[in-house]
Amino acid sequence: MPVAIQAPFDLSGHIALVTGANHGIGAASARLLARCGANVLLTFLRLYDDGDAGIPEGYRWARRSTAESVLAEIRSDGGKALALEADLSDPGVARQLFDTAESQFGPVDILINNASGWIADTFKPELLDRLGRSLQPLTASTFDRVFTVDARGAALLIAEFARRHVDRGATWGRIVGLTSGGLEGFPEEVSYGASKAAQVSLTMSAASEPGPMASRRTWSIPL
């Protein structure tokens, strides 16, 4: 007999925006938030990778999928969710996503920055990593593709979250960034690691900046 999974938190009445929610950690986060009672806007961008013997086909398939299966699962469990394809490299997308969430559910008070423009780039001359995956030399193109999504995209979403949070006088909010590598570096995925370190700094700034404002305006963005 299937065992029901107990929701660890009660998020009834809260609205969540989850990026990169068509597979992996983003999809799992969206499912859990919905199970806890939050209404969820799932965003995703279908990515089509070239064949690479070192990358499982299942992972490539997941990256080019929509979020329909995740959406269907949430709804079948009684949750409320909406899926929207969005390219976070477009600087106007942050406002559009928050507008959509507000029109469908209400003001967003949970932001999950999970999406990535991941590329395996390197400073080394070798073109294969230790797992047999193809590597690319770090170039302006590889750097910009990753940073545009992982750092700038996350920053613009945080900024939109904070602006609306202040404007409506909100007193509760959560911003979560899914990161790895960070300050320790990320060999053979160097732009990815650096962009995630930038995202950590951005998120920590968002957690700290509202503090001094609390005495003048009632609002906060706890990490």
- Radius of gyration for the alpha carbons in the chain, expressed in angstroms and rounded: 18
Going by pLDDT thresholds of 50, 70 and 90, the confidence category of residue 52 is low
Can you name the residues that pair with 137 across neighbouring β-strands?
Answer: 122
User: 176 is written with which tokens?
Assistant: 């979560």
Residue among 8, 58, 5 nearest 38 (CA): 8
Where in the chain are the domains?
15-213
As a whole number, mean pLDDT of residues 170-178 equals 93
Buried/exposed code over 73-92 (b: 16+ C-beta within 10 A; e: otherwise): ebeeeebebbbbebebeeee
Catalytic hit among 98, 161, 192, 219: 192
Query: Using one digit for the tens of pLDDT, what is the confidence trace for 71-99?
Result: 999 999 999 999 999 999 999 999 999 99
Residue 192 falls in the annotated catalytic set = yes
Angle between helices 68-76 and 24-35 (to 10 degrees): 20
**pLDDT value at 223 more than 90:** no
192 to each of 33, 56, 98, 130, 180, how far by Cα in Å? 26, 19, 26, 17, 9
Query: Using one digit for the tens of pLDDT, what is the confidence trace for 88-144?
Result: 999 999 999 999 999 999 999 999 999 998 888 999 998 888 878 889 999 999 999
Q: DSSP alpha helices (H): ranges in 168-222?
A: 190-208, 210-213
Helices and strands per DSSP (H, E), number in the chain: 8, 7
How far is residue 41's CA from residue 43's CA, in Å, rounded to a whole number?
Answer: 6
8 A C-beta contact, residue 19 and residue 157: yes
Which architecture does CATH list for 15-213? 3-Layer(aba) Sandwich (3.40)
